[in-house]
A = this chain, B = another copy of it.
C-alpha cells in the first residue's frame, strides 16, 4: 500500500470528474460530481477540493499515498502560478486555484488548461504511453491540441502553445473567417463545426447530395454519407482530412514527433478518415521526418482529462 498515487481533476461546466492514477498513467478509479457552477466561485472551489479528497477516502488507497493533485480547467490561466485568470463557462475570475487547493489538501497541486491536459493524458496513459514526443489533436466543435516533448507539455512563452486549430492552413483563395477573427484557420475546415458548415453550404447551393434529406446535419451524418459514397460528402471529408494532414506534415518537420494522436468526435470515423489523413501526410512530409512516425487514434475518450490532470504532477 505504499505505492504513490496521483489525483487528477477535470473541471467542466456541469460536472467535475476526478480520477486516481498510478505512476504509469493507469487510471485506477474515477468519480464524478456536480460542479454547481451557478452557486459561485467558492462552491466550485470547495467541490473540487471535496471530490479530490472523497475519491481517495472512499477507495482502497490512503491519503498519504497521494503524491500530488493535478487540475485541468478551460480558460485563460497563469499556468506556473496556477491562477485562473478567467474561466468563462464557470464565471471564475482571478482565483489562485493552486494556492487554495494546496492549503486545503496539503499536497502539491498543478493546474493547466483542458486541451494541454487531455493531450498529456493520451501521451502519458493513453495512445502514446511510453512515447516521449507526441502531438495531439482533438477534433470536436473546434480543433484543440497539445504538444508533448520529452514527455512534458509544451506551454510556450505565454502558455499559448498547442492551439493547433488556429494554424492558418487554408490558402487565401478558399479561406473563410474563423471564430478567432483570423482567416483560414484549420478549425474552419477540420472541426465538426467546419464539416457541418461545408455540408450546409453544399445543400444550400443545391448540390446533389443525400445530405439534403437530413434535417439537422451533424458531422457524423456527413462522415456516414461519405462512407456510403455520397460525392459531395466525400469531397467535404477529403477537404477536412487534407488540411488536417497538411498541418500534421508541417508539424512533423518542425517538431519531429513520434506519434500524432487524434481524438474527439470527428475522429470516431476511424480508418476511413485516418487513411485519408495518412495519405496527405505521406505526400507532404519529408522522408526522414516521417520515418517510423505513426498517426493513431486517441484511446481514453472522456477520461483523457482526468488522466492528464493526474499526470501533471510527474509530467507537467
Among A166, A180, A249, A257, the one with the most B-chain Cβ atoms within 10 Å of its Cβ is A166
Cross-chain contact of A166 among B158, B159, B181, B286 (Cβ < 8 A): B286
Q: Report the Cα distance A164→B252, complex, angstroms.
A: 10
Known A167-B250, A254-B251; judge A157-B287 contact (CB<8 A).
no
Q: Report the Cα distance A156→B185, complex, angstroms.
A: 25
Which bracket fits the contact residues of A?
35 or more
Q: A202 on the interface (CB 8 Å rule)?
A: no
Copies of this protein, total: 2
- A residues touching B (Cβ–Cβ < 8 Å)? 132-133, 145, 147, 149, 154-164, 166-169, 171, 173, 180-185, 246-247, 249-251, 253-258, 283-289, 291-293
Is A249's CB under 8 angstroms from B286's CB?
Answer: no
Is B161's CB under 8 angstroms from A255's CB?
Answer: yes
Is B157's CB under 8 angstroms from A293's CB?
Answer: yes
Known A258-B157, A289-B160; judge A168-B133 contact (CB<8 A).
no
Is B180's CB under 8 angstroms from A286's CB?
Answer: yes
Interface of A is mostly: loop
Known A180-B286, A289-B160; judge A256-B133 contact (CB<8 A).
no
Is A253's CB under 8 angstroms from B288's CB?
Answer: no
Known A156-B255, A160-B256, A256-B158; judge A250-B285 contact (CB<8 A).
no
Is B284's CB under 8 angstroms from A168's CB?
Answer: yes
Residues of chain B within 8 A (CB-CB) of A132 are 157
Q: Which chain B residue has the least Cβ–Cβ distance from A290?
A: B160
Known A157-B132, A157-B256; judge A250-B149 contact (CB<8 A).
no
Q: Report the Cα distance A230→B286, complex, angstroms.
A: 35
Is A162's CB under 8 angstroms from B254's CB?
Answer: yes
* A169 CB, nearest partner CB in chain B, Å: 7
In the A-B complex, the 10 residue pairs with the closest CB atoms: A156-B256, A168-B284, A157-B258, A160-B256, A171-B171, A161-B256, A133-B157, A160-B289, A166-B286, A167-B250
Q: Report the Cα distance A182→B287, complex, angstroms.
A: 9
Is A289's CB under 8 angstroms from B163's CB?
Answer: yes
Among A132, A145, A156, A246, the one with the most B-chain Cβ atoms within 10 Å of its Cβ is A156
Residues of chain B within 8 A (CB-CB) of A173 are 171, 173
Known A182-B284, A250-B250, A287-B181; judge A158-B292 contact (CB<8 A).
yes
Q: Report the Cα distance A22→B184, complex, angstroms.
A: 46
Is A164's CB under 8 angstroms from B254's CB?
Answer: yes
